[in-house]
Structure 1
């Protein structure tokens, strides 16, 4: 499995047998070979206050950088909705469902290359892979502002999806390798909140850029793409030096801090096999666990309403009688409300060390919002409030679903593949979302689109219930099972399939 390697033996305390370790096997708890007597001393030297300072240091280096990265990715992905309000469809002479097709083609490479991207992320290191991808989608966004016809729009949307494919799963994978399961939700939700901030920022920015209509012969929608893409390219250059790598490679921590981070994660999640690359056999083994597929459906059901709102909310809000600038400004408050609500949900989820209830509650809020939109068509204030409920519910449930699934995957290999699968499969819902709201449905108050969104949210809720029941059942089975006689190396390779691993509900 590891190629040509020299093997040494070390005693396994549970079985009393000699355990073969490859010479490139690095264990973050015991180093190479026998356990270190200094690990307990190191753990004792980190008082609670010192641990909090270390966590604050990690937070300031990891979370803001990745949040800005994904904010710009989501902004460049969804600013086509703002551009549409400023005349994109008219100037490019888009007819029928051509606009929807342009939205759809983004998801083809975005879905297909999620897993390969996470494999490359581990191989090339995050600071290199993520910054290169970031510069790529910034450059393509600029090109999107220069297209002259429908074919050009399709081409740029395709390559935008290709370059953005690693942003979301790669960032979630990286965050998951820094934090314990009980403290991860606030960080995940703050990171995921960058999508809400991108929506709010995009609306404000578009309302300002729209005033550049006709400058140097360009329509306002072109300036939206050009300026936002240029901003992304500039940030990508600086982020090459500041995007964090995995804990074992973090040069901005002292040797003692790196070792302590590894020890505290081992006690929470087990060994992670960070020392070896991901093989094709690793990928196949991950998909032998049925929970992987359930996790995909949990996210898939939420993606449909999430992208439906991101792509079509400006158009829906415009039907309430606002002009182009007012529409952009009115698109901001729902995003701001969703960010605030998501952080409240994350705080209590971490406080109670529980995830399931904090997926169902926001889902119910979103369902109530869509139900109002289906039946109420003559009260714009209530309809606008319902849009806020939809955004709050969907964009609060999504980070909990991803964090819950991701942090229950043990080890680099299962987490890298499983996270990429969940995000990749879930984003198939983006294709459905692009066709959920058709121009012809405007006369029917977009009720077909709202009904589609409710159906998929219910699918997500059902999947969350199945996933929670599966975790509870496996935890109980493992509690009753006899003590494992697996070697430490075998436990590392199994990840969360190790009989001693306990899932977080």
Structure 2
């Protein structure tokens, strides 16, 4: 397992960190002068530039996971990484709001495969009882990206005027070049699915086959994934609950990720100091998310550790909403620690809980892509949560974040009741004599087989 971890996790974590950094660094660029230069200070043009990213990002999640299975992860994901790195370089050269919108559209198109692809790949290597720490370690890359993005932007911002480019342009150009270079590393180092990996010895492959067989299938290389199988996944009502659960969490997470520098800038800090002050809340969230993951694996419980962080995030929103003037900057800044720690600790648990409850290649591939794709509709809402006219208290943004945090916790509770009910029904069927289920049936049905039991 250590061998697998060392082959898989470092590449996935760095890749996802760069992905998220390239997605949200527009927030750092906005503070460094992009909004002034492109005429995005008034109105909702800046919010529209954030929103348009999510249109292709949502639409192509499921097709991307199908291509990932057909082409192999190292080929498809390295192509995506190189694509959005190149787009980011062009984003640093835009001269108008229109060209910014075009680059953001293509950025969403190339980034669409990253999160569902990585979650799908992770799910095929680990059992449910050992997955949460790995999922969180991977997903926490977004937190590191938030912290590292502020540090990097504060350094790159000092390149103002070099070669005639503003500092915000260098943020996009240099981070885009770094991304393109890393795409080459992904191509040569990212492992594929267990059944396709050449570095597994025969005894190790058999170990993986036995270990993951009941949860992900028997590592067969000819899994059928036609339209009938793909559409069949959506006959299960739990698929929709999983999407709604993640949808609420995405609104709260992206609302902060995109607007953190803007919010902190209203506390009276300068451009460079704002970037530096954005780092500590992310660092706190990273520590909290790893703690939540370890506790979740230790107690073998997902529901409690999905909902508990949401309550922590809700308390942060409640504090921010209770402040009615602009003189309590230290209290506002402290509330951001609760907000980030809660909202960014819950997401990995929800992804792991739902994704690892799906059995078989087809259901796990389509189901995880659906959850993430549908969930990211929340990103569109998040981009319009914090409007310039609501500054500096941003009460509407905090009300939206709090409401969707409550919604996410409610959907997690509904999902718990759904899987508990399914397990009870299957226990009753087995107690009455049960139905004979062959290995082929288990492979075809995945978690719908009567012998399968969902985790809580």
TM value normalised by structure 2: 0.97
- Mark the runs of 5 or more structure 2 residues left unpaired by the alignment: none
**1:7-406 equivalent positions in 2, closer than 5 A:** 55-94=1-40, 95-271=42-218, 274-376=221-323, 377=325, 378-406=327-355
Q: Does residue 373 of structure 2 align to residue 427 of structure 1?
A: no
Distance 1:274 1:396 in 2: 35
2:407: which partner in 1? Answer: 459
Query: Does the 8 Å contact 2:195/2:220 carry over to 1?
Result: no
Bigger shift: residues 369-378 or 131-140: 369-378
390 and 338 in structure 1: CA distance in 2 versus 1, 3 angstrom threshold: same
1:492 aligns with 2:443: yes
String of CA shifts for 1:473-500, please: whole Å, max 9, x gaps.
1111111113222332122110000000
Distance 2:25 2:282 in 1: 14
Q: Hey, which of these two has a bigger chunk of helix by percent? A: 2
| CA offset digits 1:38-83 (Å, max 9, x no partner) | xxxxxxxxxxxxxxxxx11111111111010010000000000000
Residues of 2 paired with 1:206 and 1:311: CA distance?
14
CA distance in 2, matches of 1:66, 1:57: 15
Partner of 2:391: 442
The list of structure 1 runs, each at least 4 consecutive aligned residues, that deviate by more than 6 angstroms after superposition, is: none
Distance in 2 (alpha carbons) for counterparts of 1:250 and 1:384 = 47
How many angstroms apart in 2 are the aligned matches of 1:488 and 1:253? 24
Q: Secondary structure at the match of 1:87?
A: helix
Q: Per-residue deviation at 1:310?
A: 0.7
The SS at the match of 1:121 is helix
Aligned residues: 450
- Separation in structure 2 between the aligned mates of residue 258 and residue 140 of structure 1, nearest angstrom: 39
Q: Deviations over 1:87-144 (max 9, x none)?
A: 1011111241000000000000000000000000000000000000000000000000
**CA distance in 1: counterparts of 2:115 and 2:249, whole angstroms:** 15
Is the contact made by 1:271 and 1:491 (CA closer than 8 Å) also made in structure 2?
Answer: no
Greater shift after overlay, 337-346 or 480-489?
A: 480-489
Shift of 1:277: 3.8
Larger radius of gyration: 1
Which moves more between the two structures, 464-473 or 484-493? 484-493
TM-score normalised by the chain length of structure 1: 0.88
Query: In structure 2, what is the Cα distance between the partners aligned to 1:375 and 1:267?
Result: 50
Question: How far 1:255 sits from its partner (Å)?
Answer: 1.8
Does the Cα contact within 8 Å between 2:215 and 2:359 map onto a contact in 1? no
Secondary structure of the residue that 1:275 maps to in structure 2? coil
**Aligned-pair CA distance for 1:455:** 0.7
- For residue 232 of structure 1, give the secondary structure of its aligned residue in structure 2: helix
Partner of 1:418: 367
Q: Following the alignment from structure 2 to structure 1, what is the Cα–Cα distance between the partners of residues 224 and 180?
A: 30
Asked whether the 8 Å contact 2:264–2:274 carries over to 1, the reply is yes
Root-mean-square deviation (Å): 1.0
Q: Distance in 2 between matches of 1:325 and 1:300?
A: 33
